[in-house]
Amino acid sequence: MVSRADSSGTTFVFTKHLCAISPEFKDGPGFGKTINWPGAAKMVKGPKNDGVTALIKQTPGAIGYIEYGYARMANVPMASLQNKDGEYVAPGLAGGQAALAHAEIPENMIVWLPDPAGKDSYPIATYTWMIFYKKYDDSQKAEALRKMVGYCLDEGQKIADKAGYIPLPASVVEKVRKASMNIQ
């Protein structure tokens, strides 16, 4: 297996999913941006998505984990995985959107999808987060940030798939748009 050598959000999301589906993994290595993998002495480690990708491609029979968009752009074969509902789902637009659509987003907008429900949901999915202060000393900066969020929700969604990301479901777009009004 090929894993990340560096601290990684990809490792965090992958291991959070493994903990959700396996009590042994949860009680063992657990989740985090870096973990002590079982059998680590036999693992090959690469830095960042491009390092892991290169090692997967040059090592016959290797498996590893990288983000979907990177795998797609690097033309790396990807695995269909069994989801919470027992269905095997291929990574991609449909499975990713189904997973994101099943998320219940709380008021603070912090949400994890360690094992999303839904027969069409790909079992490993997450959002890309933007973090803002609620209050800025400069009202023009706050306005520019709100406009940037609006651009991401409008024009950005049109190119998300091409850029290797899953376009947000309409319900999520509206929730984020509303939350962006808190940037003052």
pLDDT digits (tens, 9 = 90+) for 123-158: 999 988 899 999 999 999 999 999 999 999 999 999
pLDDT of residue 104: 86
What mean pLDDT value characterizes the chain?
Answer: 93
Does residue 107 have a pLDDT over 90?
no
Task: Encode pLDDT of 53-66 as tens digits.
Answer: 999 999 999 999 99
pLDDT above 90: residue 42: no
For residue range 11-39, list pLDDT tens digits in order. Answer: 999 999 999 999 999 999 999 999 999 98
pLDDT at 157: 94
**Domain-by-domain residue ranges, the chain?**
2-78, 93-180
Report the CATH fold assignment for 2-78.
D-Maltodextrin-Binding Protein; domain 2 (3.40.190)
For the chain, the DSSP string reads -EEESS--HHHHHHHHHHHHH-HHHHHTT--SSS---TTGGG-EEESHHHHHHHHHHHSTT--B---HHHHHHTT-----EE-TTS-EE-SSHHHHHHHHHT----TT-----SS--STT--SS--PPP----S--S-HHHHHHHHHHHHHHHTHHHHHTTTTT-PPPPHHHHHHHHHHHTT--
